[in-house]
Chains A and B, each alone.
Chain A
Amino acid sequence: MPKRQLRFLLFSIGCLLAGAANYIFFQQPVHFVQLIGIHTVHRDISPHFLSVFVTGYLSDILWCCSLCALTVVLNERKYLTLWGKIFILTLPFATEIAQGLRIFPGTFDWTDLLVYFLIEYIFLTFLFKKLPDENN
């Protein structure tokens, strides 16, 4: 595996682990933490805006970054067609909308949608390589 892809893969895994750690250390219990049977430690964060960021947005941002980084790897390893990429990159928006429609558990938030858009914009503009056979 080329170093660039390895870095993206490690980045993707690192984001997921950091997001999981955030759920364990700073958030109210969520399903996956309960599922793996870890006792969560809720710590207060100060100042308030940092608390809101960490408990409300950080894990979502890390999750989206991980998804985008993994997509970069899969794309460069030619596992994805154009439609495959489209489906994957619409997932963050789809989950948020599903939360809004109460199909998924969770809270709909316009800010999340904006953050997902920004992350995907950055990945698509600066980090996705246009592969020679992309349009095949």
Chain B
Amino acid sequence: MRITKSFIAPALVIILFGWMAIASAPTNRAATITRYDGVFRYTPGSDEIVTNKSKLDFIRSTSNPTIVLRVPDANKGVLEEDKNVKTDGRREDGNNSLYNLNVYNIIEKELLKGGFTVRDRALFQKVLGDKSVGDYSKIKELTETDLILELSTLEYVSYPYTEFTTYSKGRRGVDVTNTISCSNNISIYGLKLEFRLIKVKENDFIGSFTYYYSMCPNNTCSYSVNVNDNTHACSEPFLQQGNLVYSGTHLVSQQNRESFVKEAAQKLVGAIITR
């Protein structure tokens, strides 16, 4: 009797509490999604300018130096000695293409404003394509160009996150800061632009100019994020304007890309020609 009594009590407890443990498991219903207004802080890369000062003096002493913009497509058929030119990061992603005529025109316009004589890109490309042109000194003769400005990199820079911040009004109107953790990596995107400056006659690399785009004021962006309440999986940060949703690299609009390129080209001209 005693053995039965001592067996029944723990068995009942285990069955009852075991059932509770099973019954408290979540049902397999569709996951609920919560939308947050997330705040993302980032540290953009610092602009980097590396130049050969003595070679730059040549530009400063020349009135209206001639220059041509070499763009990524023009790399087809480059000189043998120039095959190792950096071409990383060039991408064409449908409607979000970074390399387009607008960007090139903006750069050339800023060069013109800075006092350069800008040579025709198409002609330059044709000369480069001519196999009889063996070295840079010939290029100078044929195109009467002092400098090549190569747009070597224009790419998106990813800032990854596994959590983001939200602000809400607590009791008595006090701002409450919450950190939402994600079970996956999400990213926001900035831009990086790099120019290489080459003196044609001597085939001298005389400068590298790298600029970073800070996409939001005070390096702090506000985007919406959808979070799965069960799995804590976060969507890519997005902006909704009416029925249109922008996310990923599309958060950097064509207009913003162009103003960044314009600003970078102005800085470049300023760095080359400080008269």
Contacts and interface: CB of A to CB of B under 8 A. Distances in A.
Given A42-B32, A95-B18, A95-B21, A29 B6 contact: no
Contacts of B23: 30-32, 35
Contact of B24 (A23, A80, A83, A84): A23
A14 interface: no
Please report whether the interface of chain B is mostly helix, strand, loop or mixed according to DSSP.
Answer: mixed
Interface residues of B, number: 29
B58 interface: no
Interface stretch (B9-17, B109-117, B123-131): B9-17
A53 interface: no
A28 B32 contact: yes
Interface centre among B7, B13, B25, B32 (most CB of A within 10 A): B13
A71 B9 CA distance: 10
Contacts of B24: 19, 23, 30-32, 59, 63, 106
A84 B25 contact: no
A91 interface: yes
A46 interface: yes
Interface of B: 5-7, 9-10, 13-14, 17-18, 20-27, 29, 32, 34, 168, 170, 176-180, 229-230
Interface of A: 16, 19, 23, 27-32, 34-35, 42, 44, 46-48, 59, 63, 66-67, 70-71, 74, 79-81, 83-85, 87-88, 91, 95, 99, 104-106
